[in-house]
């Protein structure tokens, strides 16, 4: 409702579809794309993004938690939905009811899932060195015993790489160590006659930097949305991906500012000459980092306009002196392109000293998601 009123997010459908096609083409034969849509589709909008993916034939999704998974099902997304995080046993019934797949965070948890007494689809998480979650990969007997549990339908076996984005000697060695651990477990299971599960270990950077690996699925998040993880990330450009998200907000008010006058809370900006001050309807309550105050800029009329003064909860002020005929109602771009200029999410995030996802996943629900 009231789309494009004050401030909003635009999701570029064609860009997302393009990225899916590129990633599918990049993955080895037989390896399927599992779309990672956790944290509200990395801030893009869980349902908006997933509907486009679904229409484009994506059958595998992963999310962080039960509520995200159920939201997807209720929106009509069929196919596999894997919950990567912990689901409390009090809610195991919902896993069955909504035909969800649950990560088995360790073997004891697997036995609890089995104790529900209803067939539950699962992927076994194994810890190959990151030590965040999963049964330790050397516990082969215990992992193998999960196949004896009568109510578990084991569709997958997976792990997660801790250092796949770094290509220095030590990181490559560590990644190789994790991959070897994973492969050793798989072959030990196969030697015991256990098979028929889909194996996966790569996320975005693992897919890009270790493209020779041949597993059954790759769980792709940040690259699906075309985003650099940080400004040094070359993968999106090298793959030819497109940014899916733009962030826009309208000017609410324009005023002249005389030399010597100050702007905003705490008077942190003082005009060193006469200027045009535009107040834009987006602030830190919409998820923008407050650290952008006096440090960053927006795009307006194809020009770059510095943010002046402190970000407010619901608005921010910019120096719009360079923009001809600027007026209330004009649309500014906070992430995305305007004419020749672009603000990438990764560059904005770097001002706050965080990675791209840390900013995008905080973009608030007050920002409507508009598919264009």
CB-based burial, 203-224: b 16+ in 10 Å, e otherwise: bbbbbbbbeebebbbbbbbbbb
Structure-block tokens of residue 176:
């190789």
Between 105 and 315, CB nearer to ligand PLP: 105
Kindly write out the interface string for residues 55-94 of this chain, putting x where it contacts ligand PLP by CB under 6 A and - elsewhere: -----------------------------x----------
* 265 catalytically annotated: yes
Closest of 187, 113, 125 to residue 153, by C-alpha = 113
Between 68 and 286, CB nearer to ligand PLP: 68
- Say whether residue 221 binds ligand PLP (CB under 6 A): yes
**Region near ligand PLP per CB under 6 A, out of 140-148, 216-224, 277-285, 337-345:** 216-224
- Say whether residue 220 binds ligand PLP (CB under 6 A): yes
**Region near ligand PLP per CB under 6 A, out of 11-19, 217-225, 268-276, 337-345:** 217-225
* CA–CA gap between residue 199 and residue 186 (Å, rounded): 8
- Environment class of 115 (CB within 10 Å of its CB; exposed 0-12, middle 13-18, buried 19+): exposed
Among the listed residues 38, 109, 225, 284, the single catalytic one is 38
Between 123 and 248, CB nearer to ligand PLP: 123
* CA–CA gap between residue 231 and residue 348 (Å, rounded): 9
Between 203 and 320, CB nearer to ligand PLP: 203
Residues near ligand PLP (CB under 6 A), total: 11
**Region near ligand PLP per CB under 6 A, out of 22-30, 46-54, 218-226, 233-241:** 218-226
- Are 127 and 108 contacting, i.e. CB atoms less than 8 angstroms apart? no
- Provide the 8-state DSSP code for 325: T
Indicate which single residue of 160, 198, 248, 369 sits in contact with ligand PLP (rule: CB under 6 A).
Answer: 160
Structure-block tokens of residue 55:
């229409």
Between 71 and 230, CB nearer to ligand PLP: 230
**Region near ligand PLP per CB under 6 A, out of 197-205, 261-269, 301-309, 327-335:** 197-205
**Region near ligand PLP per CB under 6 A, out of 47-55, 112-120, 215-223, 305-313:** 215-223
Nearest residue to ligand PLP, using CB?
221
With H, G, I as helix, E, B as strand and everything else as coil, classify residue 150.
Answer: coil
DSSP string for residues in 166-230: --SHHHHHHHHHHHHHHHHHHHHHHHTT----EEE---HHHHHHTTT---SEEEE-TTTTT--SS
Q: How far is the CB of 157 from ligand PLP (least distance, A)?
A: 13
- Say whether residue 7 binds ligand PLP (CB under 6 A): no
Q: Is 339 left (phi over 0), alpha (psi -120 to 50) or beta?
A: left
Among the listed residues 118, 259, 265, 290, the single catalytic one is 265
- Say whether residue 204 binds ligand PLP (CB under 6 A): yes
Indicate which single residue of 203, 275, 280, 282 sits in contact with ligand PLP (rule: CB under 6 A).
Answer: 203
Using CA atoms in the order 67, 68, 69, 71, what is the torsion angle rounded to 10 degrees?
Answer: 90
* CA–CA gap between residue 198 and residue 195 (Å, rounded): 9
Q: Which residues bind ligand PLP (CB under 6 A)?
A: 36, 38, 84, 160, 203-205, 219-222
Residues with catalytic annotation? 38, 265
């Amino acid at each position: 409702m009231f789309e494009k009123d004050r401030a909003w997010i635009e999701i570029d459908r064609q860009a997302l579809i393009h990225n899916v096609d590129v990633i599918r083409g990049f993955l080895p034969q037989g390896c399927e794309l599992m779309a990672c849509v956790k944290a509200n589709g990395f801030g893009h909008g869980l349902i908006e993004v997933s509907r486009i993916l679904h229409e484009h034939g994506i059958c595998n999704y992963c999310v962080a938690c039960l509520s995200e998974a159920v939201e997807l099902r209720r929106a009509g997304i069929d196919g596999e939905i894997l919950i990567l995080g912990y689901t409390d046993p009090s809610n195991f019934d919902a896993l069955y009811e909504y035909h969800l797949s649950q990560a088995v965070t360790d073997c004891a948890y697997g036995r609890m899932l089995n104790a529900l007494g209803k067939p539950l689809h699962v992927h076994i998480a194994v810890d190959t060195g990151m030590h965040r979650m999963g049964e330790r990969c050397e516990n082969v007997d215990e992992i193998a015993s999960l196949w004896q549990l009568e109510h578990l339908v084991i569709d997958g076996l997976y792990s997660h790489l801790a250092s796949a984005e770094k290509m220095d000697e030590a990181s490559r060695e560590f990644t190789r160590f994790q991959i070897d651990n994973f492969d050793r477990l798989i072959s030990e299971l196969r030697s015991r006659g256990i098979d028929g599960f889909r194996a996966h270990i790569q996320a975005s950077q693992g897919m890009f930097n270790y493209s020779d690996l041949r597993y059954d699925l790759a769980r792709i998040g940040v690259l699906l949305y075309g985003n650099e993880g940080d400004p040094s990330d070359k993968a999106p450009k090298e793959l030819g991906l497109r940014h899916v998200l733009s962030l826009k907000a309208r000017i609410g008010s324009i005023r002249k500012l005389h030399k010597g006058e100050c702007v905003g809370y705490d008077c942190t900006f003082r005009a060193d000459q006469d200027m045009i001050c535009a107040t834009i309807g987006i602030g830190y309550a919409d998820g923008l980092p407050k650290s952008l105050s006096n440090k960053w800029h927006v795009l307006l009329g194809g020009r770059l306009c510095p943010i002046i003064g402190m970000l407010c909860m619901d608005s921010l002020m910019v120096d719009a002196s360079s923009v001809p005929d600027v007026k209330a109602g004009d649309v500014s771009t906070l992430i995305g392109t305007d004419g020749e200029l672009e603000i990438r999410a990764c560059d904005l995030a770097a001002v706050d000293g965080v990675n791209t996802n840390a900013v995008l996943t905080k973009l608030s629900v007050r920002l409507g998601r508009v598919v264009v």
